[in-house]
Amino acid sequence: MNTLYSILDSLLPFDWLGYNFMKNAFIAILLIAPLLGILGTMAVNNKMAFFSDALGHSALTGVALGVVLGVENEIISMVAFGVLLALIIAKVKKAKTASSDTVISVFSSASIALGLVILSAGGGFQKYSQYLIGDILSISASEIAMLAAAFVAVIAVWALIFNKLLLLSINRELAASRGVKTSLIENIFVVLVAVVVMLSIKWIGVLLINSLLILPAAAARNVARNSRQYLAFSVLISLVCGISGLIFAYYADTSAGATIVLICSAVFFITYLFRRK
């Protein structure tokens, strides 16, 4: 990490990068923002805003189950529960016994309630309240290494399934007629979303993670004219909002996650007005 810090100091000699915790947060944003940007495009295309919100809420249940089962690293229990919940929701949605938003809302409500009940037993919820808001300034070097590994893995899988997923988002029947294994591709996608959301929760927060997944993609959709622009604009908006939000939060002494979301919201409204014109 010292070598990376030296490179940042030489390339970006700004006072806000004068502290190691700010360097860690900056590197984390460079890893998290592109992932949320690319996954957000398909989440918006497939009208899955409620889905990602449900995953965010389920993080507390993942933490709670980790506590009950004695799992020392809460990220492991969060990711495991998030992946399981994502696959269950995808399975129930395919059954079409109820509308998608109803199914997702039920799972979201039940999961966050279960997590709160378990973690609040004996008045012990206070030490887990950080998951609600998150704190990207607290990320450590080892956690950055974990994010970097996840970044490489998710990008590799995304490159393999992107064309099939794009076709699937346009027309499921057409994708199936072209030999796309629709259920498999959908499951891979929801697992990717679950992993990225759960890995980001600790630093972004349950209350904000869905916004950072959906807003950049929604803003990009307002101005993009094709799928390549859509993907590129989403990643670019996510990165610009993430970095500018971190810098603004440093000088204004505000919550970094909330500041980033506010900037993303402003960009969305600007692009929405541009689209109407």
Burial of residue 169 (CB within 10 Å: 0-12, 13-18, 19+) is buried
* pLDDT exceeds 80 at position 128: no
Q: Please, which pLDDT band fits residue 155 given cuts at 50, 70 and 90?
A: very high
Rg of the chain taking only CA atoms, in angstroms: 19
* pLDDT exceeds 80 at position 248: yes
User: Would you give the DSSP letter of residue 121?
Assistant: G
Contact 254, 240 (CB under 8 A): no
Q: Would you state the torsion angle of the CA atoms of residues 220, 82, 140, 152, taken in this order, to the nearest 10 degrees?
A: -60
Mean pLDDT for 41-61 is: 80
pLDDT of 78: 86
Q: Please, which pLDDT band fits residue 198 given cuts at 50, 70 and 90?
A: confident
Q: Please, which pLDDT band fits residue 86 given cuts at 50, 70 and 90?
A: confident
Query: In the chain, where are the structural domains located?
Result: 17-205
d(CA 253, CA 251): 6
pLDDT of 217: 92
pLDDT of 89: 80
Identity of the amino acid at 204? I
pLDDT of 122: 60
Q: In whole angstroms, how far apart are CA 159 and each of 156, 163, 222, 225?
A: 5, 8, 24, 21
State which of 52-56, 97-101, 120-124, 163-167 shows the largest mean pLDDT. Answer: 163-167
pLDDT of 269: 93
CB < 8 Å & 24+ apart, contacts of 272-276:
272/219, 272/222, 274/222, 274/223, 275/222, 275/223
Contact 88, 51 (CB under 8 A): no
% of the chain with per-residue pLDDT over 90? 25
* pLDDT exceeds 90 at position 68: no
| CA-based nearest residue to 38, from 242, 231, 233 | 231
Tokens 């399981």 belong to residue: 84
d(CA 185, CA 165): 7
Tokens 């998608």 belong to residue: 100
Alpha carbon 176 to chain centroid, angstroms: 28
pLDDT of 125: 63
CATH class of 17-205: mainly alpha
Q: DSSP labels for 78-103? A: HHHHHHHHHHHHHHHHHHTSS-HHHH
Tokens 């080892």 belong to residue: 142
* pLDDT exceeds 70 at position 124: no
